[in-house]
Each structure stands twice: as C-alpha cells, then as structure tokens.
Amino acid sequence: MTHAPFPDTRLRRTRRTGWSRAMVREHRLTPANLIWPLFVCDGTDAEEPIASLPGVSRWSVDRLVQRAKEAVAAGIPCLALFPYTQAERRSDDGAEALNPGNLMCRATAAIKHACGDDIGILTDVALDPYTSHGQDGLVDDAGYVLNDETVEILVGQALNQARAGADIIAPSDMMDGRVGAIREALELEGFGHVQIMSYAAKYASAFYGPFRDAVGSRGLLKGDKTTYQMDPANVEEALREVEMDLAEGADSVMVKPGLPYLDVVRAVKQAFAVPVYAYQVSGEYAMIEAAAAAGAGERDALVLETLLAFRRAGASGVLSYHALHAARLLGA
C-alpha cells in the first residue's frame, strides 16, 4: 500500500465528523449480532438474583416468557437457555437431562408457544447442570469423565430438547464425536432442520465462576475440567476441534470464553469462513460491572466497545449477559 506523504494525506480528515466516521466504519454491531443467555428456575412468578452476576437473575418459566418478549422487541434474534436444577433432581448420571418435563424443555416450549419463530431458542447440551458431581459427563471410579458413554446421554438430551422446540442444539460438553452422533440422531428423528452450534473451542478457563453459581454447580464440582476442556495455551488444537465438528455436521461454531480468546476467533474465521460465535462469559461480564461500579469506566461505553471487539475479530455474533442492555443502546 502506498499513500501520499503528510500533509497531502491526513488520516484525521475522515474522523472529523460523525457522518464521515459512519461512512468509513469497517465493522458494525447491531442487535442481530447478539444472543442473550438466560437462566431458568423452578416456581411461579419467581426471580432469583445471582450475587456474583449483578443485574442477572434466574427466572421462572412464566417470567422467562416475559424476558423473551422483551428480547423480540429489542431485535435480539436468539436466546440461550440454562437451567438451575434443584438439588434433589441432580444425580451421578444426570438423568434429569432426559426428562421431557425438565426446566429446559418447559421453558423452551413456553417461549416457542408465546413467540413462535419471532425468536430462536438455543439449548445447552451438557450434563453439568444435572449431575451431582458438577462434571459435564459421566465419571468413572477414578473421577475421569467418560467420553463415549457420555455421548450416548448427550444424544438423548439433544433429542429431548429438539422435541420441546429447540431451534439450535449447542453441545458445550467437549466430548469427542458428540456432534456427529447428535446430527445423525436429529436426522433419523425428523429434526433435520434443527441447527447445531458447537462449542468447538471451549477452554478450561478461570472465567466461569459466576456461571457455575448461576446453574448451581460451583459448590458441587469435584476436581476440574482440564481433561476435556481445552488448554488455554493452544490455538492450533482449536482449529482441529473446529474442523472435526464441521465435518460432523455443525452449522456454526463457538469460541469460549470471549475477550481473552479473540485471537482464536480470528484464526477460526480465517481458516474456515463459517459462522463463528463468541461467548462473553460470566467472569467477563462481572469484571465490566465491577469496573463500572468502581468508576474505572463508563458502563455503556465499556459494553459496546467490548462487543464491537468481537465483531472486529470476525465473530458473527456474541452470547452476552449484556445483550438486552446493548440492544436497547443500539436501538436508541
């Protein structure tokens, strides 16, 4: 690239006015780029604030439907649902995941009944919200998470959610081969239209703590998840994970967490040119809220700048607990 020398070239010329900055803006953030994660709890007319996620609550199914209608009005295209399973319904084998009347299925059905195709429902496929030990799969006597045996349960969980009306199945467990097994089962059961958004590059991160509070697994977790979630040091391995999931039938892929892994988002987008999503996880959300509360930054500006960073890195969209607030700012 060649440019005339200064002063014939003045890069500030196009920055002088708002209309000019808008004309040359390289990346844009709109409500259509946002997915709003929501937590569902038991009960009626219930809201349960989550202390480690200020401004985020668990909602009973009836109140969750209200949140869905707010999302539609704000232009958000999709919700991601996560259940807070009662302790008495948790078990070593996570059998509640297969219950057609569980919280995830009831919430999915209620939102689809109320909103139809005005909004999409993305459902999490993993066993950690249902297991008594907090791991994403079945464990052996030594505490090792079993791959193939877990995949069998995940397939049943995915079909359970598809029957309830899920639009996108999102396996977040990081078991090998689960995308192909789920895709085959969906096709055989007549759910060929249901998308799979694979958590293809999910890292064993320190940023998940508030989420585990939200789904009730933090105090239950025995050990860690390093034997199946990715090492934060690795990028090439992420590309292998993405390649395998796409070959097995994933329609889109996800990188999780978000801001600390923008290089991974960029690498995936450049390598595969497929829809790539990033999850701005609970720890990231909590840090923005803490910074704003401490006066270290202006909340609205922090929210929009970080979300735009995902788009700049190549993300098609972002799962963010700030989604509704951001969508309203963008639509104002």
Contact 253, 245 (CB under 8 A): yes
- Rounded Cα–Cα distance for residues 323 and 308 (Å): 12
Contact 10, 310 (CB under 8 A): no
Distances (CA, A) of 123 to 21, 65, 230, 301: 38, 15, 21, 30
Give the pLDDT of residue 71. 98
- Rounded Cα–Cα distance for residues 168 and 183 (Å): 12
pLDDT tens for 186-228 read: 999 999 999 999 999 999 999 999 999 999 888 788 789 999 9
Domain 29-330: CATH architecture, name and number where available: Alpha-Beta Barrel (3.20)
Residue 24 backbone dihedrals phi, psi, to 5 degrees:
-105, 5
pLDDT tens for 24-71 read: 999 999 999 999 999 999 999 999 999 999 999 999 999 999 999 999
- Rounded Cα–Cα distance for residues 239 and 111 (Å): 35
How would residue 232 be classed by pLDDT, with cut points 50, 70 and 90?
very high
The phi-psi region of residue 75 (left if phi > 0; otherwise alpha if psi is between -120 and 50; otherwise beta) is: left
SS3 131: strand
Among residues 202, 222, 225, 269, which one is catalytic?
202
Give the pLDDT of residue 221. 84
Among residues 112, 225, 256, 269, which one is catalytic?
256
Is 88 labeled as ligand-binding? no
How would residue 332 be classed by pLDDT, with cut points 50, 70 and 90?
low
Active site residue 222: no
- Rounded Cα–Cα distance for residues 154 and 181 (Å): 9
Active site residue 202: yes
Q: Against a cut of 0.85, is the pTM above it?
A: yes
